C-alpha cells in the first residue's frame, strides 16, 4: 500500500470518527431549548451523511439546475451525444425527473427514489463514472405542494453530488432561481454554465461577480448545446468551452475524484451545520452568562448572610474551645514556670475549692463548701451542654427564606431569558427535601466537629512553638531574675562595700511577690488574649467555609448542573467544528468545481 493510499485511509478514518462524535453529541434531551434545536439539526444532518456514506462507491449524481428555458435538457442531450430528453425554451418542459445512466449501471446504490424517475439508458463516455439527472425547473409559478415540480425538485436535490447550474443572459439574475440554488447547493459541488451561446451575449463576468458573494466560482462555461449535439451526431469532436465541460465530466470527475467529492460534500454540509449550531447557541450565550453572574451574586449574598449567622453561633461556643486550647497548650508545653502558671489559671476554681477545704473546721462548713462546689460543677456542665446544643444547631441553621424567594424570582427570570427549562429553579417536593436535609445535617455536623478539632490542634501547636515558649518564659523569668539580681547585689556587693548599707527588708520581698503575681497575671492574660484572637480569626474562616459547604451546589443544584453540561456540550461542539475545518482542508477535489461560501439557516434545514 502506497503512502498516499495510507494517508487517504487515515483521513477517511478521521472523518468516520467525526461522524461518530456527532452521533454521540446529538443524543439525549437538554433543558436548554437552543441545544435541543441544534441536536435536532445534527440528527437531520446525520441522516443526510448516512446517504452519502451508502453511495460512497456509487457513480456521482450530476443534476442539472436552472430556470425555465435555460436549455438544461438540451445541455444534457449534448453532453451524452444523443437526444434523450425533451427540450424547450419558452415553457417548463421537464416536469418529471429524467435519470440518464450507462447501460448496466447499478442504480440501486444511488439511494434515489427510482420509481419517481424516468430512467433512460444511454451508451456514452460521459456516463462512465457519473449519472445525469435532468431536474424540474425551480421557477415555475406553482407553490410547493404535494406532487408539484418544486416539491419534487427539493426532494431529489439532496441526493445529488454535483449541480450543473445552467443560466442565460435573461435568467442569470432571477431571484427565485438564486434562492433555490442556496438550498440546492448545500453539500454539493457546483459547475456554472451559460447556455445559448449562439444567440446571447457573454455575461460571465457580471454573473461571476453576482455569484462571487455567495459561492466559490472557479470557472464559468459558455456553450451552445444545439451546435455541440449536431457536431457529435455528425461525427465531429466538440470544441471550445463545451469540450472543456465534457472533459471535466469524463476525466476530472472520474473514479479517482468520486470519493473525494463525496467526502468534501459531507464535510461542507457538516461544517455549515456545526456553524449554524454554534450560531444558535451563541445567540443565547449572553443570557446564559447573565444567568451565571446572577447565580454567583446571589450565592455570595447568601454565603455572607449565612457566614454571619454561623460566626455568631460559633462564637457562643468559643469559651469551651478556649479551655480546650489552653489544656492542649499546657500538655504540649511540658513542665516549665510559665506552663505551671497556665495550669494554675486553668484549674483555678478547683484550686480555690481545695484551699477552702483546708480551712473548714466543722462538718457544716464542709457541707457548705461541697454544696458550693457542686453548684459550680453543675453550672459548668449546664454551660457546656448549652454550648454543645448551640453547636449542634449549626447543622440545622437554615437559609433566610426571604433571600431564597428573592433569588428564585430573579433567577427564574434569567432562566426564561436564556431559554432554559423553568422547572430547574422549582423547589423540590417536601418529603424528598426533608430526607436530604436530614442526611446533610448528619454529615455537616460530623465534618464541623472534625474542623473544630483540627482548629484546636492547629492553634495549640502554633501557640506552643519554640518561639512562643521562649518569649513568654523569658518575660516571666526576667522579673524573677531582676529580683534575684537586686537582692544579690544588695547582699554581696552593697553591704560588703559599705557596712552602713542595710540588707533589704522583708517589705521588699512582699512587694516583689505582689508585683510578680501581677506580672504573672498580665502575661497569662496576654497569652489568653493571643489565643482568643487566633480563635476568633479561625472562627471567621470556619464560618465562611461552613457557609460554602452548606451552599454546595447552590440554591439550584439542578440548574448549575445543567449549566455545566451545556458548557461541556458547547466545548465539544467547538472541538468538532475545528476538526471538521481541518479535515476539509485535507480533502482535495477538482479545482474546476465551485462550492457555497456559507450556508444560511434555511439552506441547512432544507438540505438536511
Could you tell me the sign of the dihedral formed by the alpha carbons of 383, 388, 392, 398, in that order?
Answer: positive
CB 166 within 8 A of CB 67: no
Asked which of 262-271, 406-415, 425-434 is least confident by mean pLDDT, the reply is 425-434
Task: Answer yes or no: is pLDDT of 367 > 60.
Answer: no
CB 391 within 8 A of CB 312: no
Distance of alpha carbon 608 from alpha carbon 605, whole angstroms: 5
pLDDT single digits (tens) 95-118: 678 889 888 777 877 777 788 888
More confident residue, 224 or 316: 224
Distance of alpha carbon 118 from alpha carbon 100, whole angstroms: 8
Asked which of 22-26, 266-270, 375-379 is least confident by mean pLDDT, the reply is 375-379
Task: Answer yes or no: is pLDDT of 383 > 50.
Answer: yes
Contacts (Cβ under 8 Å, ≥6 apart) of 332: 460, 461, 464
Look at residue 431 in the predicted model and tell me its pLDDT. Answer: 38
Dmax (CA) for the chain in angstroms is: 156
Distance of alpha carbon 513 from alpha carbon 519, whole angstroms: 10
Mean of all residue pLDDT scores within the chain = 77
pLDDT single digits (tens) 528-565: 888 888 888 877 877 777 666 665 555 677 888 889 99
Task: Answer yes or no: is pLDDT of 508 > 90.
Answer: no
Place of cell 511540658: 334
Q: CATH assignment of 56-283+591-607?
A: 3.40.50.300
Angle (CA) 512-513-519 rounded to 5° is 85
Average pLDDT over residues 350-368: 49
- pLDDT grade for 433, boundaries at 50, 70 and 90: very low
Percent of the chain with pLDDT over 90: 11
Percent of the chain with pLDDT over 70: 73
Asked which of 7-16, 123-132, 166-175 is least confident by mean pLDDT, the reply is 7-16
Asked which of 78-87, 418-427, 439-448 is least confident by mean pLDDT, the reply is 439-448
Asked which of 198-212, 277-291, 437-451 is least confident by mean pLDDT, the reply is 437-451
What is the model's pTM? 0.57
DSSP 78-102: HHHTS--S---SSS----S-EEEE-
Asked which of 82-91, 118-127, 236-245 is least confident by mean pLDDT, the reply is 82-91
pLDDT single digits (tens) 114-142: 888 888 888 888 888 888 988 877 765 55
CA–CA distances in Å: residue 509 to residues 484, 492, 514: 10, 17, 9
Of 607, 437, 467, 579, give the one whose Cα is nearest residue 530: 467
- pLDDT grade for 577, boundaries at 50, 70 and 90: very high
Distance of alpha carbon 530 from alpha carbon 471, whole angstroms: 13
Task: Answer yes or no: is pLDDT of 567 > 50.
Answer: yes
Look at residue 254 in the predicted model and tell me its pLDDT. Answer: 61
- CA 508 vs. chain centroid, Å, equals 79
Asked which of 220-224, 278-282, 335-339 is least confident by mean pLDDT, the reply is 335-339
Burial grade of 505 (CB within 10 A; 0-12, 13-18, 19 or more): exposed
Task: Answer yes or no: is pLDDT of 432 > 50.
Answer: no
Of 89, 72, 191, 96, give the one whose Cα is nearest residue 153: 96
Contacts (Cβ under 8 Å, ≥6 apart) of 408: 425, 427, 555
- pLDDT grade for 512, boundaries at 50, 70 and 90: confident
Asked which of 292-296, 309-313, 336-340, 471-475 is least confident by mean pLDDT, the reply is 309-313
The set of cell numbers assigned to 566 is: 451545556
Distance of alpha carbon 216 from alpha carbon 138, whole angstroms: 22
CB 429 within 8 A of CB 580: no
Output phi, psi for 165, to 5 deg.
-90, 110
pLDDT single digits (tens) 64-84: 888 888 888 888 988 888 888
Q: How many CB atoms lie within 10 A of CB 326?
A: 20
Look at residue 21 in the predicted model and tell me its pLDDT. Answer: 92
Distance of alpha carbon 503 from alpha carbon 513, whole angstroms: 17
Task: Answer yes or no: is pLDDT of 319 > 80.
Answer: no
Q: How many CB atoms lie within 10 A of CB 198?
A: 10
Q: Which long-range contacts (CB under 8 A, 24 or more apart) does 348-355 make?
A: 349/376
Task: Answer yes or no: is pLDDT of 574 > 90.
Answer: yes
Q: How many CB atoms lie within 10 A of CB 360?
A: 14
- pLDDT grade for 257, boundaries at 50, 70 and 90: low
What stretch of H or E contains 54? helix 33-54
- 594: which DSSP letter? B
CB 167 within 8 A of CB 204: no
456: alpha, beta or left? (left if phi > 0; alpha if psi -120 to 50): alpha
Strands 215-216, 595-596: parallel, antiparallel or unpaired by DSSP?
antiparallel
Look at residue 571 in the predicted model and tell me its pLDDT. Answer: 94
DSSP 314-329: HHHTHHHHHHHHHHHH
What stretch of H or E contains 64? strand 60-65
pLDDT single digits (tens) 34-46: 999 999 999 988 8
The set of cell numbers assigned to 541 is: 474562616
Contacts (Cβ under 8 Å, ≥6 apart) of 192: 165, 167, 207, 208, 211, 217, 219, 220, 221, 594
The set of cell numbers assigned to 173 is: 439574475
Look at residue 340 in the predicted model and tell me its pLDDT. Answer: 83
Helix, strand, or coil (residue 193)? strand
- pLDDT grade for 351, boundaries at 50, 70 and 90: very low
- pLDDT grade for 329, boundaries at 50, 70 and 90: confident
Contacts (Cβ under 8 Å, ≥6 apart) of 527: 338, 342, 463, 472
- Give buried/exposed letters for 527-536 (b at 16+ CB in 10 A, else e): bbeebeebbe
Of 307, 316, 312, give the one whose Cα is nearest residue 551: 307
What stretch of H or E contains 365? helix 363-396
**Angle between the 255-283 and 557-586 helix axes, to the nearest 10 degrees?**
150
Q: How many CB atoms lie within 10 A of CB 59?
A: 23
- pLDDT grade for 429, boundaries at 50, 70 and 90: very low
Strands 98-101, 189-194: parallel, antiparallel or unpaired by DSSP?
unpaired
Average pLDDT over residues 320-345: 81
Task: Answer yes or no: is pLDDT of 93 > 60.
Answer: no
Helix, strand, or coil (residue 596)? strand
First to last CA, the chain: 36
| Segments of the chain assigned to CATH 3.40.50.300 | 56-283+591-607
Amino acid at each position: 500500500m502506497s503512502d498516499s493510499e495510507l494517508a487517504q485511509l487515515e483521513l477517511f478514518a478521521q472523518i468516520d470518527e467525526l461522524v461518530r462524535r456527532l452521533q454521540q453529541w446529538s443524543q439525549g434531551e437538554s433543558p436548554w431549548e437552543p441545544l435541543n434545536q441544534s441536536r435536532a439539526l445534527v440528527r437531520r444532518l446525520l441522516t443526510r451523511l448516512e446517504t452519502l456514506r451508502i453511495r460512497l462507491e456509487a457513480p456521482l449524481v450530476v443534476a442539472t439546475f436552472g430556470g425555465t428555458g435555460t436549455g438544461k435538457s438540451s445541455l444534457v442531450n449534448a453532453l451524452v451525444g444523443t437526444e434523450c430528453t425533451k427540450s424547450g425554451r419558452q415553457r417548463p418542459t421537464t416536469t418529471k425527473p429524467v435519470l440518464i445512466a450507462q447501460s448496466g449501471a447499478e442504480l440501486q446504490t444511488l439511494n434515489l427514489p427510482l420509481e419517481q424517475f424516468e430512467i433512460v439508458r444511454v451508451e456514452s463516455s460521459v456516463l462512465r463514472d457519473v449519472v445525469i439527472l435532468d431536474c424540474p425547473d425551480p421557477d415555475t409559478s406553482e407553490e410547493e405542494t404535494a406532487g408539484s415540480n418544486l416539491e419534487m425538485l427539493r426532494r431529489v436535490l439532496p441526493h445529488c453530488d454535483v449541480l450543473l447550474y445552467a443560466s442565460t443572459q435573461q435568467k442569470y439574475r432571477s431571484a427565485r432561481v438564486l434562492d433555490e440554488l442556496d438550498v440546492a447547493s448545500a453539500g454539493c459541488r457546483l459547475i456554472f454554465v451559460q447556455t445559448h451561446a449562439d444567440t446571447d451575449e457573454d455575461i460571465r463576468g457580471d454573473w461571476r461577480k453576482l455569484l462571487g458573494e455567495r459561492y466559490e466560482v472557479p470557472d464559468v462555461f459558455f456553450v451552445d448545446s444545439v451546435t455541440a449535439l449536431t457536431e457529435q451526431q455528425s461525427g465531429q469532436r466538440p470544441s471550445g468551452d463545451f469540450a472543456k465541460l465534457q472533459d471535466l465530466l469524463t476525466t476530472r470527475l472520474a473514479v479517482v475524484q468520486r470519493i473525494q467529492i463525496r467526502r468534501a460534500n459531507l464535510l461542507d454540509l457538516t461544517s455549515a451545520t456545526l456553524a449554524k449550531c454554534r450560531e444558535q447557541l451563541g445567540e443565547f450565550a449572553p443570557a446564559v452568562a447573565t444567568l451565571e453572574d446572577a447565580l454567583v451574586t446571589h450565592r455570595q449574598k447568601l454565603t455572607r448572610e449565612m457566614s454571619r449567622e454561623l460566626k455568631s453561633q460559633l462564637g457562643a461556643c468559643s469559651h469551651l474551645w478556649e479551655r480546650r486550647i489552653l489544656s492542649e497548650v499546657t500538655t504540649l508545653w511540658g513542665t516549665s514556670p510559665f506552663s505551671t502558671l497556665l495550669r494554675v489559671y486553668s484549674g483555678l476554681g478547683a484550686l480555690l475549692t481545695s484551699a477552702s477545704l483546708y480551712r473548714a473546721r466543722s462538718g457544716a462548713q464542709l457541707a457548705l463548701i461541697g454544696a458550693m462546689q457542686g453548684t459550680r460543677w453543675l453550672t459548668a456542665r449546664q454551660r457546656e451542654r448549652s454550648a454543645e446544643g448551640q453547636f449542634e444547631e449549626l447543622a440545622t441553621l437554615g437559609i433566610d427564606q426571604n433571600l431564597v424567594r428573592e433569588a428564585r424570582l430573579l433567577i427564574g427570570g434569567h432562566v426564561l431569558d436564556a431559554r432554559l427549562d423553568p422547572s430547574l429553579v422549582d423547589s423540590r417536593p417536601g418529603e424528598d427535601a426533608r430526607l436530604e436535609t436530614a442526611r446533610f445535617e448528619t454529615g455537616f455536623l460530623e465534618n464541623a466537629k472534625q474542623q473544630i478539632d483540627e482548629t484546636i490542634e492547629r492553634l495549640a501547636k502554633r501557640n506552643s512553638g519554640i518561639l512562643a515558649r521562649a518569649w513568654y518564659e523569658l518575660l516571666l523569668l526576667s522579673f524573677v531574675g531582676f529580683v534575684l539580681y537586686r537582692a544579690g547585689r544588695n547582699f554581696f556587693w552593697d553591704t560588703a562595700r559599705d557596712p552602713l548599707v542595710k540588707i533589704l527588708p522583708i517589705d521588699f520581698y512582699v512587694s516583689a511577690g505582689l508585683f510578680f503575681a501581677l506580672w504573672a497575671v498580665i502575661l497569662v492574660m496576654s497569652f489568653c488574649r493571643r489565643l482568643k484572637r487566633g480563635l476568633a480569626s479561625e472562627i471567621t474562616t470556619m464560618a465562611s467555609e461552613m457557609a460554602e459547604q452548606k451552599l454546595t451546589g447552590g440554591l439550584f443544584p439542578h440548574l448549575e448542573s445543567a449549566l455545566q453540561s451545556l458548557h461541556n456540550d458547547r466545548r465539544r461542539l467547538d472541538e468538532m467544528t475545528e476538526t471538521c475545518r481541518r479535515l476539509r482542508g485535507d480533502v482535495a477535489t477538482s479545482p474546476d468545481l465551485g462550492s457555497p461560501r456559507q450556508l444560511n439557516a434555511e439552506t441547512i434545514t432544507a438540505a438536511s
